[in-house]
Amino acid sequence: MKNNYDASAYHNAEAYIYDIPKFTKKNDLKHTEMLLYKLGNPGVDKKVIHVAGTNGKGSVCAYLNSFLLESGKKVGMFTSPHLITMNERIRINNQIASKEEFVAGFEKVKEMLATLPEEIPHPTFFETLFLIAMCIFEKSNVEYIILETGLGGRLDATNVIAKPELTVITKIGLDHCEYLGDTKEQIAEEKAGILKNEVPVVYLKKYLETAQVIEKQANLKGSFLEGLTKESFKIENFKNKSIDFCYKSRYYDYITFTVPTCALYQVENISLALKAFECIMEKEQIKVDTLRKAILKTNWEGRMEEIAEGIYVDGAHNEDGIKAFLDTVSHISCKGKKILLFSVVSDKDYKSMIHALADNKLFSQIIAVPLQDARGLSLEHLKENFSFCHKAAVNYFETVEDGFSYALKRKGKEDMLFVAGSLYLVGHIKALLRRK
């Protein structure tokens, strides 16, 4: 997009959006519908794939995006959170929306908001970004839009699309319990709020307690169900840099794939994306080579991502995420020591996360640091909760920079350094490396 772009315009847009309180009370869906209508209903006539879940949403979106792109489709994708810059949340054909495109979308939304009466509340941080994304997708004239829910599903701003092409629900765990419920079944009901009448739903059938909730809601809405079972995929071979697995396709029986990651949990996410893609492309022939190329090309940042030799970052940010992270780390062969840099936000179940880390002998040393964020768990609380950890030495630093510098000094050539506990921590580390 070529124009007389002012470099400060993007920073001004970011500053404006960051000034919107992130965790204020959500507006209802009618409010978001009204704002979309005022904008001219951008993107609502596209083929929308709506994805909800606790863990794996972003990865499923990324792989599904790759399958569509490799099949020649033009795709817009909206995900959260971002790691470094706000425009990372919005992609067209897997390219992050340019700062020029972001500013254009922001200006359109801001101009519309300026026309509203004072009694109409301002959209929240997430709602504003969603509106900007839909404006960008409309202007880019994409064929498909992949929308990842921000929080929950039923009341999420992305749930204003009346008739999506497909809904997908990933693994459900205990997270954001203060908003979504205290049990997995209650949370599953909130996630299942994205289901629409007679719109197919792809879900994980292997977790029965949550699958039954989704199936009940789907049956009430007359939605076709496509479940991923334990028999749908199988890991064949694990290497430090890649995983070989097979997937039971509806067309070709079992197909073997290689994914260039060590993250074991991605096999389930890829398999769910494959099943979703089969539903979308039901009337079109799917070529196995297309799928294989798409998987090899996909790089979803912050999920067991090797950012430098022997340094891995993972956005494990809740108990299930930490357990999946530890499962992968336990399979990775390392000639030297395994070191962990950890931080967490205070509104997560950090006690369970720290317990899971403390109850294993994977790491010779754990380095705990507070995030420089209002939500970050304080150094005092980190020390208090790690005080029972006797299986590994724990060191504490007041800043992420100090902890990371210490970790780099302690890391030998054959050692591995892992960074986990929050996507905010991952973003901070990636930003540090970028500056260096």
> What would the pLDDT profile of 347-369 be if each residue is shown by its tens digit?
888 999 999 998 888 999 999 99
Q: Which of 35-39, 283-287, 310-314, 423-427 has the lowest mean pLDDT?
A: 283-287
CATH 3.90.190.20 domain residues, the chain: 305-435
> What would the pLDDT profile of 222-233 be if each residue is shown by its tens digit?
999 999 999 999
pLDDT at 102 over 60: yes
Q: Which position has the higher pLDDT, 285 or 49?
A: 49
What phi and psi, each to the nearest 5 degrees, are found at residue 377?
A: -70, 130
pLDDT at 2: 45
> What would the pLDDT profile of 369-382 be if each residue is shown by its tens digit?
999 888 899 999 99
CATH number 3.40.50.300 given to 7-297: no
pLDDT at 435: 80
> What would the pLDDT profile of 288-304 be if each residue is shown by its tens digit?
999 999 999 999 999 99
Bridge partner list, 171 = 55
CATH number 3.90.190.20 given to 305-435: yes
* Residue 398, SS3 per DSSP: coil
166-169 sheet: strands from edge to edge = 95-96, 90-92, 75-78, 144-148, 47-52, 166-169, 201-204, 225-228
> What would the pLDDT profile of 224-273 be if each residue is shown by its tens digit?
999 999 999 999 999 989 999 999 998 778 999 999 999 999 999 999 99
CATH 3.40.1190.10 domain residues, the chain: 7-297
Percent of the chain as helix, strand, coil, to the nearest 5 = 45, 20, 40
> What would the pLDDT profile of 126-169 be if each residue is shown by its tens digit?
999 999 999 999 999 999 999 999 988 999 999 999 999 999 99
* Inter-residue contact 417 to 339 (CB < 8 Å): yes
Give the global pTM.
0.94
